[in-house]
Amino acid sequence: MKFGSFPVETAAGLVLAHTVRGETVLKKGHVVTAADIAMLQASGIRSVTGAQLEQGDVGEDAAAAQIAAELCGPQVQASPAHTGRCNVIAGTNGVVIVNRAAIDAANAVDEAVTLATLPDLAAVRAGQILATVKIIPFAVRADVLARVRDALAANSLRLAPFRAKKVAVISTLLPGLKPSVVASTEGVVGARVADIGGTVMGYTRVGHEAGAVAGDIRAALEAGSELILIVGASATADRGDVVPAGIVKAGGTIEHFGMPVDPGNLLVLAHIGAVPVLVLPGCARSPKLNGADWVLQRLAADILVKGRDIMALGVGGLLVDTPGRPLPRAQAVQEETPGPTPKIAAIVLAAGQSRRMGGRNKLLMNVGDVPLVRRTVSEVMSAPVTEVVVVTGHEPEKVQEALRGLNVRLIHNPRFAEGLSTSLKVGVDAVTPDASGAVICLGDMPGIATKHVARLISGFDPGEGREIGVPTHGGKRGNPVLWGRRFFQEMHEVSGDVGARHLIGANESLVYEVEFEDTGVLMDLDTPGQWEDYLMSSSRPRST
């Protein structure tokens, strides 16, 4: 490839290095044609700068695509190449495994070719970029391309998908440990399990005694658990402490105690046969990232974790929230007493008139054997929310009857006919002052599940700039949305039959997206046709 300034009359086939503005605009990367030459000459332009490909050169897009193809194994695909860049995309949720030696060797071949990847063993979501290939010049020599491809040995980048494992969660109890703390912890741990594609088979609570722990472990194994998580009432102080002793009593082996990750130091990794057992550190009561998350992600992807793997986590193991911990250490809060978990309320908007349903109130129509509004509220209540506020409007007595027996606060919006914005204001005004934010749910979304709300809450972290949680499916944004309290006042300025969606666009830097594999976050039912289509596709009984 030759790069430089060329007389216009010899520029046919030249790849422009810069945008050229004549009678028409030729953008950077454009390949000059005979017609372009005539236009450039008519515009008084005598020379242009660019790259002239030679025999054996491979264009930037073709080269990037070929290299990216070498990285694409099962569950991994490449995006179309453009301007010399090609991204490698995850096809499912899991853990990316990177052969650093192969990537380093490929990057060492020639400065014209660069490969950047996520860190080895990073957890990823479907649609997330795992690696990017960028060709620096407009072309590379064929021999350079061949050497780069040779350097990328088999499995230089691969994806280990999360497997839907059956998980048992055991909490031990001591006098003075509030039931509300245990319940909150179970919600946080359940959200962690959902985040790695697992299913909690059951939550059990036993006394903080080795024999009781052993009995619950045996019961979990008999029930078919593939992973056991234990939250001790007191932090583990030694391999011989109560919970590790209970694991041994149940026939298990302690693989490793402690880890060079803070928060997360007091993790215990054990096995009973092929079933991993984790004694979670006290910081796991909080949804914030801690060392146990790294171990859980790998186990969920069927990646073997040994003691030596945990001991290798020290570099990068000081997580971002730790600088805020008070020092000296003697003054620090103990591991078993984590910092306060953000309190998140839920607001369910159930005031609409169902104008497009032909006179029927869709919130009162049955999904399965329960009214749609009751199904929505029940799913939201099962998430780790501190309260559920339901805003009523149209037919409030019937909505109240549909929710009878549920522990929710019903707030009536007398101005419901003026539009959605009025219900939004009533809802945020009703949230208790100590709430850090609220998940705002629409009452007419039959696919909303506890996991959607739980994962939005687990990602909420104002200190890290994660203040608006938005669910997505296939890259398309849906509902419900989690809003930090700072936006409540701005919601009061909304008017008409609209929500606060425009505030997302105005605050993109504070948005975190949570991708879901199902379409529940996109589906609402506004018309009889949509309702019938939903019932047919879900094979549910017809509504009454």
* Interval 219-232: pLDDT, tens: 999 999 999 999 99
Q: Give the residue from 161, 184, 219 where a domain finishes.
A: 161
Cα gap 265→331, rounded to integer Å = 17
pLDDT at 335: 35
Task: Kindly tell me if the per-residue pLDDT of 341 is higher than 70.
Answer: no
Lowest mean pLDDT among 180-189, 352-361, 401-410: 352-361
252 vs 474: which has the higher pLDDT: 252
Q: How confident is the model at residue 544 (pLDDT cuts 50, 70, 90)?
A: very low
Residue 258 lies in a domain: yes
> Is residue 41 one of the residues assigned to a domain?
yes
Select from 105, 132, 161 the last residue of a domain.
161
Paired with 158 in beta bridges are 97
Residues 79, 133: one domain? yes
How high is the pLDDT of residue 496? 67
- The residue range of the domain holding 149 is 57-161
| CATH number of the domain to which 127 belongs | 3.90.1170
Same domain membership, residue 188 and residue 70: no
Task: Report yes or no on 412 lying in a domain.
Answer: yes
Same domain, 314 and 399: no
What is the predicted pLDDT for the residue at 541?
42
Same domain, 111 and 182: no
Q: Is residue 93 domain-shared with residue 33, that is, in the same domain?
A: no
Same domain flag for 97 and 187: no
**Whether residue 498 has pLDDT greater than 80:** no
Residues 366, 386, single domain; the answer is: yes
Q: Is the pLDDT of residue 332 over 70?
A: no
Task: For 161-172, write each residue's pLDDT tens digit.
Answer: 999 999 999 999
Same domain, 215 and 311: yes
pLDDT tens, 113-151?
999 999 999 999 999 999 999 999 888 999 999 999 999
- Per-residue confidence (pLDDT) for residue 321, from 0 to 100: 45
Q: Is residue 107 part of a domain?
A: yes
- What CATH number is given to the structural domain containing 496? 3.90.550.10
Q: Provide mean pLDDT across the span 261-285.
A: 94
Cα separation of 253 and 306, whole Å?
12
- Per-residue pLDDT at 484: 93
**116 shares its domain with 155:** yes
112 occurs within a structural domain = yes
> Could you tell me if residue 363 is inside a domain?
yes
Mean of per-residue pLDDT scores for the chain = 88
Residue 32 sits in a domain whose CATH number is 3.90.105
- pLDDT at position 282 over 50: yes
437-444 average pLDDT score: 93
Answer whether 403's CB lies under 8 Å from 363's CB. no
Number of domains in the chain: 4
Q: Residue 333: pLDDT band by 50, 70, 90 thresholds?
A: very low
Q: Where are the alpha helices (DSSP H) in 263-320?
A: 291-300, 307-311
Of the residues 129, 161, 193, the one at which a domain ends: 161
- DSSP letters of 357-391? GTT--GGGSEETTEEHHHHHHHHHHTSS-S-EEEE
Q: What is the pTM of this model?
A: 0.57
The backbone torsions φ and ψ at residue 232, rounded to the nearest 5 degrees and listed phi first, read -80, 145
**pLDDT for the residue 338:** 42
Q: Residue 176 corresponds to which tokens in the numbers above?
A: 């003075």
